[in-house]
Chain A
Amino acid sequence: MKKNLLHAGVFCLLVAGWLSSTLAYAQSDPSGKKRITDTYAITNATVFTAPGQAGVKATVLIKNGLIQGVGTNLTLPKEAKLIAGDSLFIYPGFIDGAGDVGITKPKDPEKPENFVSSNPPDEIAGITPWRSATDQFSLKDSKVDDLRKVGFTIVQIMPDGGMIAGKAAIVLLGSENSTNLLVDNSGLAASFRASRGMYPGTAVGVMAKFREVYDNTKLTSQRSQKYTTVAGLKRPEITPTYSAMEEVVAGKIPVLFSASSELEIRRAISLQKEKGFKLVLTGLEEYEEVLDVIKASGAGVLVKLEIPDDKAIKAQKEDAKDEVKELNARVKKAYDNALAQAGKLEAAGIPFAFTTSGVKSGDIMKAMRTMIANGLSEKAALAALTTNAAAILGINKVAGSIEKGKIANLIMSTDSIFAEDSQIKHVVVDGFVFDYETKAKKKAPKDGEGKGAVKIEGNWDYTSESPAGSGSGVLSIQKDGSNYTGSITYDDPSGSGKASSPIKNVVLDGSTLSFSFNISANEMVITVDVKGEVSEGSYEASMTVGEFGSFPFEGTLNPTLIANK
């Protein structure tokens, strides 16, 4: 199912794009979806053309996917569709520095017969620089619209994979019928993620392997160069890995290194210093201590657009013992520091943008507002979402602000964008207008009511994390009278490939879904209990594996089943 979708996505990007750009095929559109004009004028709105610019009343004219003008005295062409912007605030569309939206992890290749764990093929060991995020991306993924709904118009999509996952690409979250690829091979996604049970099996091995791949790429280019100029030389061995790494070694594209903690940031920077590649740090979660190190390195910075969970802070009790109070105070301080970090990054004069990898779209604006409340200026916040992101991605000529000639990427909100009650009404991507429902002032919903019954039937793609590594599979749920039945697939613990078990005790209580299943491994039967919350096609749960502990379990209802709307 998912595979078809994947292909559909690629089709959209490559084939459909080609179709629309070769209008020679001029055909009618019996589906009725073709728009009547590509020219829009949003009139008399409050326009913020770039971070730090005050809002001015103006009209924005877009045509052909580009901003044609911003001003009060524009001549509006007859084919322009007018949108009354009087009550709207217009901002440049947001840019996601590194996102996983719409990305589906490719299937791991089967291990070969003669597999040796100490020397696995690159592809199995997570070294796949030749892979492209475009092959893993689907614009039809429901998460794409979730992110666009928050105002994101451009995303640098990151391939899923191991220590060298592959090439990122910059895409527009535009129409399904357009070519949305802005920059291919925009960077190389790397991380300290190790392979399970094979070399490199830990972060220390990953660092050694990274050096090795880098150095040999360099040598291979040297050899290749000589080979083409001098006759009679031994043919250099060219591998997909070295070929794909060449752009990095030549300094043409940056390494997008995922580094969440201070120590990881230092490690990525130390590799950069040693080897001299262009570096963009991404996924930063904890960085307060290393601001000067980051600044000195000159690396691009993509902060994870998320704030820490406040469950622990809320659980602190006033009447705790003094000893506990002291410890609580330290946790609170750590929490407050975490919220204030982005502000400190700004104060240190480090331009930064955000990454939404691993972030829930619904939490983004709350995270933004919290960072602003804790010291980040609105100007820097907007810059991180627009101009800085464009600069780090190298697309500041074409995106990041509302200027004549730039891509028509706009956000139209009901209030100034970071205001508590501000809602996004339209998002324009590449000249295509997406409308979103806005509600009159939200009222506090009554306990559990107001929402329709939660739908859980269908196929869920899930991922799970455990000390043994990450796993994935398909959870299939059917309705059987008033009960639910189904099955789940998972990585076969006693070998390669997938195994499947029926699921039991499927209970949906409000929006809480729980079920269990048995895994048998090495003559042992382990019961796995899963319980969590379902919300609009996503499932955030905790998986308890026998006595070994609880681990995160996340599912997404397969979008092909809800694509009918």
Chain B
Amino acid sequence: MKSNMTHATKRRMIISYVRFHVALKSNCKHMKKVNYFLAVLLGLSIQFASAQVKKGSVLIKNATVLTVTKGTLENSDVLVQDGIIKKVGQNLSAPSGVQTIDATGKYVMPGIIDAHSHLGLDVVNEATSPIVAEVRMKDMVNPYEVGIYRALAGGVTISHAMHGSANVIGGQNATLKHRWGSTDPADIIMQDAPRTIKFALGENPTRVHGRGNGIQPRTRMGVEAVLRNGFNEAIQYKKAWSEYNAAASQKNSTALPPVHNERLQVLSDIIDGKIIIHCHSYRADEIYMLINVARDFGITKLVFQHTNEGFKVAPEIAEYTMGASVFADWWAYKMEVYYSTAYNAAILTANGAITSINSDDAELIRHLYHEAAKTQRYGGMTDDQALSMITINPAKQLGIADKVGSIEEGKQADLVIFEGHPLSSYTIPQMTFVDGVKYFDIKEDANDQRLKVSATEMVEPIMIFEGHDSRCMQDTESLFETTEALFNLNH
């Protein structure tokens, strides 16, 4: 029957399909259903796992708009349609059906992006091997974690849900969009973000593997060796497969496929520039080492995380990498960060390195605007420089700067409205939007935000906050024999 179909018939069908589709766009609610119908009709397969996420329209009026990349616009409006920033300017009017929010006297900035977080993950560390590149944090995303809402209440719209730092090469991370309320992990994963992977240098991997388990690496020399061995094996692996694929395409080929090794495949993808490395690091020497390794293997997509001694090798970081994502002021919690300075971000910035401020912490993520503001005390950063460190700079490091990270027409409408300048210590976030949908509004903030409670819960557990709540080393407990080590996991 297919072959009998005339050219014209085919064309008509395609055209009517397209028209139908365009007509449907205005009626989003029914789209999924009808789409399904069409898909069945046309024999297309549509993946519903990545069904559309909610997108909103809104007009924010009369705000001080901190675009970050295009300066500060007083008394200006931001028009959002279908999740996209349509227009930024003055005296904009809302199309019919689009809600207007009067933001007179308030500030609007791009949604805050945290380049280092472990929120929304059921498992953080697959700590059992020095390289676990094959594991995917996307498998472990848990949209029920109330910390996601708390981050939204602090203006954070995107977080980089990372594998932990127990391995030299850890798992692949997930970039999350904080679409609170969805119970489908796929809905809170930023599907259009590129792949990233966690690396870790120094004390964490040498403690877990060398000192904890008696396998390499136990030293920073070993860390380098693990990296180089891994990449070299990946090159051999790739070669074996391309040889097989070439041979298999020949007639009467007798070639046998090599063993599949997802771990080496991922490393090979890193060498091919398909994955951005985000590397836990503290000391200048280890940072310098990885820069050298990366250069030897032609890897340029490399971001350093924590990077407390990044300031010592700032020229190298600026020249050869995608920069560093640092704490505003954390130091001295372990030996590796004793020789730190809160001026780290300022020095890196002055040297031209892309610099972001991150949280790595369920508490700190709630006030990243304040953490960024600390760069003004420690190094005199300008407002735009400080704001860049939690918006466009982390967006660049996550490979999503073309989509988010600033208030520009055409970008995704992730926005935060503040009462008071966001870099003031007294500022209070008022509303947070992701894709133009409001997920946090201080005026409508309900008391109990848990999406789920246990049917057998007697009394809700009370957690007494005892400082840092980092999960860099979560799930590594079973690797330590002594109970002392169990309760003393430093990140």
Contact = CB atoms under 8 A, between A and B. Distances in A.
The answer to A–B direct touch (Cβ < 8 A) is yes
Interface of A: 116-119, 196-205, 207-208, 211-212, 215-216, 219, 222-223, 226-227, 230, 232-234, 236, 262-263, 266-267, 270, 273, 289, 293, 296, 308-309, 311-312, 315, 326-327, 330-331, 334-335, 337-338, 467-469, 494, 521-522, 524, 548
Interface of B: 48-49, 122-123, 125-130, 132, 134-137, 139-140, 142, 144, 171, 183-185, 209, 213, 215, 254, 256-262, 447-448, 450, 452-458, 460, 475, 477-479, 481-483
Given A205-B132, A219-B259, A326-B448, A312 B254 contact: no
Contact of A331 (B126, B139, B453, B481): B453
Contacts of A327: 448, 453, 460
Given A117-B128, A331-B455, A338-B455, A201 B475 contact: yes
Given A197-B478, A207-B135, A327-B460, A212 B453 contact: no
Given A197-B478, A203-B123, A204-B126, A263 B455 contact: no
Given A116-B215, A118-B130, A270-B139, A524 B49 contact: no
Q: Which 3 A-B pairs have the closest CB atoms?
A: A118-B129, A205-B126, A199-B128
B259 A216 contact: yes
A300 B447 CA distance: 39
B254 A232 contact: yes
Contacts of A467: 477
B129 A119 contact: yes
Contacts of A205: 126, 128, 132, 135
Nearest to A230: B254
Contact of A233 (B183, B254, B258): B254
Contacts of B475: 201-202
A117 B215 contact: yes
Nearest to A326: B448
Given A212-B260, A467-B477, A331 B254 contact: no
B374 to A, nearest CB: 34
Contact of A226 (B144, B256, B448, B483): B256
Contacts of A494: 481
Contacts of A226: 254, 256
Contact of A222 (B135, B257, B262): B257
B184 A233 contact: no
Given A312-B457, A334-B454, A202 B123 contact: yes
Contact of A201 (B48, B127, B140): B127
Nearest to B454: A334
Given A200-B128, A203-B139, 20 more contacts: A117-B129, A117-B479, A199-B128, A201-B126, A202-B123, A202-B127, A202-B475, A204-B122, A208-B136, A208-B262, A211-B262, A262-B183, A263-B144, A308-B456, A315-B458, A327-B448, A334-B457, A337-B455, A522-B481, A522-B482
A273 B49 contact: yes
Nearest to B130: A118
28 contacts: A116-B215, A117-B479, A199-B128, A200-B126, A200-B128, A201-B127, A204-B136, A205-B128, A207-B136, A208-B171, A208-B262, A212-B261, A216-B259, A219-B258, A219-B259, A230-B254, A262-B183, A263-B144, A293-B184, A296-B48, A312-B456, A315-B458, A326-B447, A331-B454, A467-B477, A494-B481, A522-B481, A548-B483
B49 A270 contact: yes
A163 to B, nearest CB: 13
B36 to A, nearest CB: 11
Contact of B139 (A204, A232, A469, A522): A204
Contacts of B183: 262, 289
B256 A233 contact: yes
Contacts of B171: 204, 208
Contact of A198 (B128, B453, B460): B128
A262 B483 CA distance: 33
Nearest to B478: A197
A460 B48 CA distance: 51
Contact of A207 (B139, B448, B460): B139
A216 B258 CA distance: 9
Contacts of B137: 204
- Which residue among A197, A201, A203 has the maximum number of chain B CB atoms within 10 Å of its CB? A201
Contacts of A223: 256-257
B453 A202 contact: no
A391 B91 CA distance: 66
Nearest to B139: A207
A233 to B, nearest CB: 6
A524 B485 CA distance: 14
A403 B144 CA distance: 48
- Which residue among B48, B142, B455, B483 has the maximum number of chain A CB atoms within 10 Å of its CB? B455
B475 to A, nearest CB: 5
A216 B262 CA distance: 10
A200 B134 CA distance: 11
Contacts of B122: 203-204, 263
Contacts of B450: 330
Nearest to A469: B478
B216 to A, nearest CB: 10
A230 B247 CA distance: 15
